[in-house]
C-alpha cells in the first residue's frame, strides 16, 4: 500500500468521522483526530493519534497541524441536532460557523490548502424538484441547516481567492456501522431512525414514534435516502484524491437516489431482529418534507463515488451487529 500523508480529522471521535478514520488508515493515511469529545467518544479513536481540544481554538489547531505535518483537513466537528439548533442558535453558529472560520485561519497559517467539509441535505430545506440535484436552490428551514450553508458559502468564497481548495459533501441520511462491529452510531442524544427503531425493538418500553402516516407517499410515511456510513467514508478518500489535482470549490450529494420509507426501515429492523418494533403513531412534525432523495450522479462523475452497500438490509444488519457488540455506546 502506498504511504499517504497525515490528515487532520476534526470530529474524528464522532460517528461519521471515526468510520472515515478507519477508511483513511486502510488507504495508507495517518488520521489525526482533533476533537473536544463534546459528543464524540475517546474509544472511537483507534486508527491514529487523538488531540483533545476545540476547533475554535486556532492556535491549538495550528500547533497540532504543524506538529503532525498535516497535508489536508477533513472537517466533521459540528453540532448537528435540528431541534436543539432552534433553541441554541448562538451555540450552533459559534460552533459550526465559528469553528470553520478558525479552522481555515489555522490552515492558512500552516500552508494547508485542502479541506473536505461534511455538509448536509438539510441545506436544501423543502426542495422544488426530486431527485435533488446540487443545483437545487439552497433554502434551509432550520438553524442547523443554515449554519451548514453559511460554512459552505464561507469555504466557497475563500476557495475563490485561491487560499484553499475544497470539496463539500452533502450527506443524506448516514446510517449503519463498520463491518467489523468495533465502531458504530453512538449519539448520546439519538434522533436517527435506524438506531431508534433498533432500540425500540430491543426495549418495548421505548416505542418508536412514527411522525405522520398521512403523507402523499406509497405507505403514508416519510421517505429518506439512507447511505451506509462506510460508503460515506469512501467518498472522503476519493475527495482527497480529487483535491490533489483540482482547485476551487465543489459540492456533491452523497445519497443513493433510492427513497426508503419509515415503515420500510421498521420492516427491515423487524426482519433482521426477528421481532416487532413497537410504534406510536404521532402527528407530522413541522418542517418534515414527505420525500427527500439525492441525484447522486455528480459524485459518481467527478469523484468516481457510488454507494455499494447502502441497501436498507445491509445498513440495518451492520447497525444491529454494532448494537449487539459495542462496548462504548451510551445511546442504546
Ligand atoms: N449523521 C448524519 O446523518 C449526518 C448527515 C448530514 C451531515 N452530517 C454532518 O457530519 C458531521 C459528523 O456527524 P456525526 O453524526 O458523526 O456527529 P457526531 O456528533 O457523532 O460527531 C461530531 C464530532 O465533532 C466533535 N465536535 C463538535 N464540536 C467540536 C468542536 N468545537 N471542536 C472539536 N470537536 C468538536 C464531537 O465531539 C464529535 O466527536 C457533522 O458535521 C454533521 O453535521 C451528519
Q: Which of 14, 71, 58 is nearest to 40 (CA)?
A: 14
* Residue 115 placed within a domain: yes
From the CA of 55, how far away is ligand 1's center (Å)? 12
* Residue 286 placed within a domain: no
- At 332 the pLDDT is 32
Which grid cell is 88? 441554541
From the CA of 39, how far away is ligand 1's center (Å)? 8
**DSSP bridge pairs for 75:** 10, 117
* Residue 140 placed within a domain: yes
The answer to whether residues 251 and 235 touch, using CB atoms and an 8 Å cutoff, is no
Residue nearest to atom 15 of ligand 1 (CA): 15
| Cα–Cα dist 279/263, whole Å | 10
Question: What angle, rounded to 10 degrees, do the helices at 262-273 and 193-202 form?
Answer: 40
Q: Is 174 in the pocket of ligand 1 (CB under 6 A)?
A: yes
* Residue 325 placed within a domain: no
Q: Is 16 in the pocket of ligand 1 (CB under 6 A)?
A: yes
* Number of compact structural domains in the chain: 1
Residue nearest to atom 10 of ligand 1 (CA): 118
User: Residue 245 — φ and ψ, nearest 5°?
Assistant: -115, -5
Question: DSSP character for 170?
Answer: E
* Residue 182 placed within a domain: no
- At 194 the pLDDT is 97
From the CA of 78, how far away is ligand 1's center (Å)? 4
* Residue 305 placed within a domain: no
Can you give the pLDDT of all 332 residues of the chain as single tens digits?
Answer: 778 899 999 999 999 999 999 999 999 999 999 999 999 999 999 999 999 999 999 999 999 999 999 999 999 999 999 999 999 999 999 999 999 999 999 999 999 999 999 999 999 999 999 999 999 999 999 999 999 999 999 999 999 999 999 999 999 999 999 999 889 999 989 999 999 999 999 998 999 999 999 999 999 999 999 999 999 999 999 999 999 999 999 999 999 999 999 999 999 999 999 999 999 999 999 889 999 999 999 999 999 999 999 999 999 999 999 998 865 544 33
| Cα–Cα dist 66/208, whole Å | 47
The answer to whether residues 263 and 221 touch, using CB atoms and an 8 Å cutoff, is yes
Residue nearest to atom 23 of ligand 1 (CA): 11
Q: Is 294 in the pocket of ligand 1 (CB under 6 A)?
A: no
The boundaries of the domain holding residue 128 are: 6-175+226-255
- How many beta carbons lie within 10 A of that of residue 60, not counting itself? 17
Minimum-distance ligand 1 atom for the alpha carbon of 77: 24
* Residue 221 placed within a domain: no
| Cα–Cα dist 29/331, whole Å | 30
Out of 15, 92, 124, 144, the active site residue is: 144
* Residue 287 placed within a domain: no
| Cα–Cα dist 160/154, whole Å | 10
Sign of CA dihedral 174, 175, 180, 182: positive
- At 328 the pLDDT is 57
CA end-to-end span of the chain: 37
Minimum-distance ligand 1 atom for the alpha carbon of 13: 39
The DSSP line for 9-37 is EETTTSHHHHHHHHHHHHTT-EEEEEE--
CATH code (residue 67): 3.40.50.720
- At 331 the pLDDT is 39
Which grid cell is 179? 463491518
| Cα–Cα dist 326/15, whole Å | 13
From the CA of 77, how far away is ligand 1's center (Å)? 5
Which residues, 6+ apart, have CB-to-CB distance to 172 below 8 Å?
121, 224, 225, 226, 227, 253, 254, 255, 256, 292, 293, 294
144 belongs to the catalytic site: yes
Amino acid at each position: 500500500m502506498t504511504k499517504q500523508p497525515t490528515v487532520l480529522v476534526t470530529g474524528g471521535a464522532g460517528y461519521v468521522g471515526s468510520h472515515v478514520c478507519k477508511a483513511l488508515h486502510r488507504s495508507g493515511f495517518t488520521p489525526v483526530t482533533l476533537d473536544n469529545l463534546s459528543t464524540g467518544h475517546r474509544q472511537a479513536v483507534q486508527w491514529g493519534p487523538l488531540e483533545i481540544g476545540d476547533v475554535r481554538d486556532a492556535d491549538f489547531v495550528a500547533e497540532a497541524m504543524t506538529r503532525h505535518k498535516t497535508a489536508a483537513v477533513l472537517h466533521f466537528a459540528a453540532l448537528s441536532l435540528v431541534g436543539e439548533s432552534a433553541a441554541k442558535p448562538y451555540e450552533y453558529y459559534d460552533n459550526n460557523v465559528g469553528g470553520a472560520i478558525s479552522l481555515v485561519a489555522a490552515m492558512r497559517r500552516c500552508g494547508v490548502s485542502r479541506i473536505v467539509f461534511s455538509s448536509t441535505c438539510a441545506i436544501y430545506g423543502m426542495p422544488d424538484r426530486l431527485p435533488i440535484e446540487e443545483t437545487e436552490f439552497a433554502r434551509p428551514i432550520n438553524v442547523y441547516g443554515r449554519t451548514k450553508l453559511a460554512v459552505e458559502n464561507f469555504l466557497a468564497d475563500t476557495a475563490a481567492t485561491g487560499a484553499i481548495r475544497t470539496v463539500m459533501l452533502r450527506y443524506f441520511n448516514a446510517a449503519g456501522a463498520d463491518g467489523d462491529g468495533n465502531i458504530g452510531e453512538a449519539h448520546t442524544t439519538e434522533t436517527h431512525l435506524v438506531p431508534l427503531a433498533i432500540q425500540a425493538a430491543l426495549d418495548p418500553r421505548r416505542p418508536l414514534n412514527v411522525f405522520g402516516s398521512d403523507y402523499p407517499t406509497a405507505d403514508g410515511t416519510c421517505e429518506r435516502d439512507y447511505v451506509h456510513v462506510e460508503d460515506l467514508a469512501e467518498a472522503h478518500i476519493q475527495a482527497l484524491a480529487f483535491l490533489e489535482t483540482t482547485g476551487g470549490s465543489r459540492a456533491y450529494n452523497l445519497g443513493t437516489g433510492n427513497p426508503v420509507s419509515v415503515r420500510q426501515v421498521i420492516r427491515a429492523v423487524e426482519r433482521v431482529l426477528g421481532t416487532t418494533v413497537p410504534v406510536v403513531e404521532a402527528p407530522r412534525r413541522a418542517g418534515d418534507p414527505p420525500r427527500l432523495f439525492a441525484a447522486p450522479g455528480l459524485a459518481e462523475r467527478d469523484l468516481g463515488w457510488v454507494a455499494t452497500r447502502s441497501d436498507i438490509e445491509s445498513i440495518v444488519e451492520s447497525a444491529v451487529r454494532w448494537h449487539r457488540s459495542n462496548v462504548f455506546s451510551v445511546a442504546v
